[in-house]
């Protein structure tokens, strides 16, 4: 397994390109199942999770063609053409689904297009049990018959799904995405109340509209869909990754550097920008994205609570904690979305961070300097917080199990090294 070695202490200076959003791409790709036409996705990030989704779709019979894309402001985002002319298999097998929970997003499209689907239950993951009960209840309201057997979701519908009035008892990004895709081909109108408002959900809705879907309320908590008989292919560019943007903004802040994030969209991460500004980080929009400067002021602690969009994103909680560990004063961090998203805490403490976790809250007391240490990545965003801490720590940090990181961040060490970070990947033995 690869490791990443960092010698901390260098303020980052320069430019970091921001790619397309992983969590948008993982919903946009299965949307291809809804049509026989070709869906061409550009600005696609090059990530392990994207390859996993491509493998899953391929075994359903989706034809794929990948080519480079020099557009999008010079980013190296790729163009992937997906064509589900014929779906040869409606089963999403355990050995693929267990690698990536977002695989469950084939359920709605397969049901809508084929009238049946057999999808492995995703199982839990490091940050929580993460059930899909809300997805299933909503599909049953649309006329699907659903059985759970042998670790699989077996779903069937006679004829077409029926439009329904869905009220999600709690905000679910994946649940909203599954139902939104299913509703585009259902008979009649579907209303999704308490829908997720994440930009990735809005991106999926805009892509579906480009494919001929009839959707109103994009970006709001209530989506209204008029089902149509069929969708057609489209070309669509994946929205900028707001979590990658926030992560590199923290990298600039924690090293007290000055970096421009090219391709960033400030309108997608207002809550993160507000929080970093409160801590003393200078952030301004530029014609190409946003500039993050922290080389002249002391950073101070602040309090945050993770919430559904537009609140502070749970996917930025671990990264902010790393920054707060080096800010002066105390910070209170409360995680309200997942029940076990503090796996990065013991690892940060090995680097000298002072953190006390009480249930869903963590008190962080800033220290003047973190110290480098060997640490273990446990999940995607925890890994990124360890990299961030390593960039600021005195001495050498070795982050083990960086396969977690590669699921969601493209060319991390390259992007950081280009801004002066002393960071390198140590290729591991496959067997390790
Ligand atoms: C998406 O996961 C993201 N993943 C996650 O990003 C993100 O943390 C999460 O949304 C919240 O923003 C992708 O988009 C691929 P949810 P998802 O359904 O859809 C509970 C990352 O680091 N819930 O909004 O799985 C659930 O347990 C990843 O990029 C149910 O109880 O999240 C959780 O506590 C991590 N029943 C809460 O709702 C359900 O049927 C939010 O989950 C569905 C969800």
> Which tens digit of pLDDT belongs to each residue from 142-172?
999 999 999 999 999 999 999 999 999 999 9
Ligand 1, atom 28: closest residue by C-alpha: 315
CB 62 within 8 A of CB 32: yes
pLDDT of residue 432: 46
Ligand 1 atom with the shortest distance to the CA of 135? 40
* CA–CA gap between residue 14 and residue 295 (Å, rounded): 13
> Which tens digit of pLDDT belongs to each residue from 322-332?
999 999 999 99
**Could you give the percent of the chain with pLDDT greater than 90?**
91
Characterize the bridge pairing of strands 234-237 and 38-44: parallel
Q: Any idea of the CA torsion for 99, 62, 105, 184, to the nearest 10 degrees?
A: 180
Residue 391: other Cβ atoms inside 10 A: 28
Output the CA 27–ligand 1 centroid distance in Å: 13
CB 86 within 8 A of CB 46: no
**133 Cβ closer than 6 Å to some ligand 1 atom:** yes
SS (H, E, C) 56-118: HHHHHCCEEEEECCCCCCCCCCEEEEEECCCCCCCEECHHHHCCCHHHHHHHHHHHHHHCEEE
Q: Name, in order, each residue with C-beta under 8 angstroms of 68's C-beta and a sequence gap of 6 or more.
A: 76, 78, 79
**Where do runs of H (alpha helix) occur along 154-304?**
173-183, 199-210, 242-254, 270-279
Q: Which of 32, 114, 125, 419 is catalytic?
A: 125
- What mean pLDDT is reported for the chain? 95
Ligand 1, atom 25: closest residue by C-alpha: 174
Q: What is the pTM of this model?
A: 0.96
Q: Give me the half-sphere count of Cα atoms (radius 13 Å) on the Cβ side of residue 40.
A: 8
**Between 202 and 127, whose confidence is greater?**
202
Distances (CA, A) of 250 to 79, 159, 216, 255, 297: 29, 50, 35, 8, 15
> Which tens digit of pLDDT belongs to each residue from 47-94?
999 999 999 999 999 999 987 654 444 445 579 999 999 999 999 999
Does the active-site annotation cover 125? yes
**169 Cβ closer than 6 Å to some ligand 1 atom:** no
């Amino acid at each position: 397994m690869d490791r990443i070695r960092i010698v901390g202490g260098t303020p980052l200076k320069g430019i970091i390109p921001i790619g397309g959003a992983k969590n948008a791409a993982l919903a946009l790709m299965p949307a291809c199942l809804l049509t026989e036409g070709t869906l061409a996705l550009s600005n696609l990030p090059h990530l392990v999770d994207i390859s996993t989704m491509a493998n899953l779709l391929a075994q359903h019979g989706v034809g794929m063609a990948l080519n480079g894309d020099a557009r999008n402001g010079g980013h190296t985002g790729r163009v992937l053409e997906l064509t589900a002319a014929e779906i040869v298999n409606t089963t999403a097998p355990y050995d693929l689904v267990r690698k990536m929970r977002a695989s469950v997003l084939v359920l709605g499209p397969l049901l809508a297009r084929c009238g049946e689907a057999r999808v492995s239950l995703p199982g839990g993951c490091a940050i929580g049990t993460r059930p899909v009960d809300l997805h299933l209840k909503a599909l049953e309201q649309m006329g699907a018959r659903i059985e759970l057997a042998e670790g699989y979701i077996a779903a069937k519908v006679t004829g077409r799904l029926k439009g329904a009035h869905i009220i999600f008892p709690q905000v679910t990004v994946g649940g909203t995405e599954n139902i939104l895709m299913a509703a585009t081909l259902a008979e009649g109108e579907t209303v999704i109340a308490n829908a997720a408002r994440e930009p990735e959900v809005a991106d999926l809705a805009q892509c579906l509209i480009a494919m001929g879907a009839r959707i109103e309320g994009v970006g709001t908590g209530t989506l209204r869909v008029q089902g149509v008989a069929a969708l057609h292919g489209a070309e669509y560019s994946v929205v900028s990754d707001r979590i990658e943007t926030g992560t590199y903004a923290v990298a600039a802040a924690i090293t007290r550097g000055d970096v421009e994030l090219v391709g960033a969209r400030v309108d997608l991460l207002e809550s993160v920008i507000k929080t970093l500004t409160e801590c003393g980080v200078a952030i301004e929009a530029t014609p190409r994205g946003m500039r993050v400067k922290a080389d002249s002021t002391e950073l101070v602690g602040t309090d945050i609570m993770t919430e559904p969009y537009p609140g502070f994103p749970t996917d930025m909680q671990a990264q902010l904690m790393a920054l707060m560990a080096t800010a002066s004063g105390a910070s209170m961090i409360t995680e309200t979305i997942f029940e076990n998203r503090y796996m990065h805490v013991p690892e940060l403490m090995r680097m000298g961070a002072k953190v006390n976790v009480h249930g869903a809250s963590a008190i962080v007391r800033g220290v003047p300097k973190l110290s480098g240490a060997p640490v273990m990545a446990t999940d995607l965003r925890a890994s990124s917080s360890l990299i961030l801490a390593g960039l600021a720590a005195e001495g050498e940090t070795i982050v083990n199990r960086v396969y977690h990181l590669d699921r969601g961040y493209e060319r991390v060490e390259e992007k950081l090294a280009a801004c002066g970070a002393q960071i390198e990947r140590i290729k591991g033995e496959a067997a390790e």
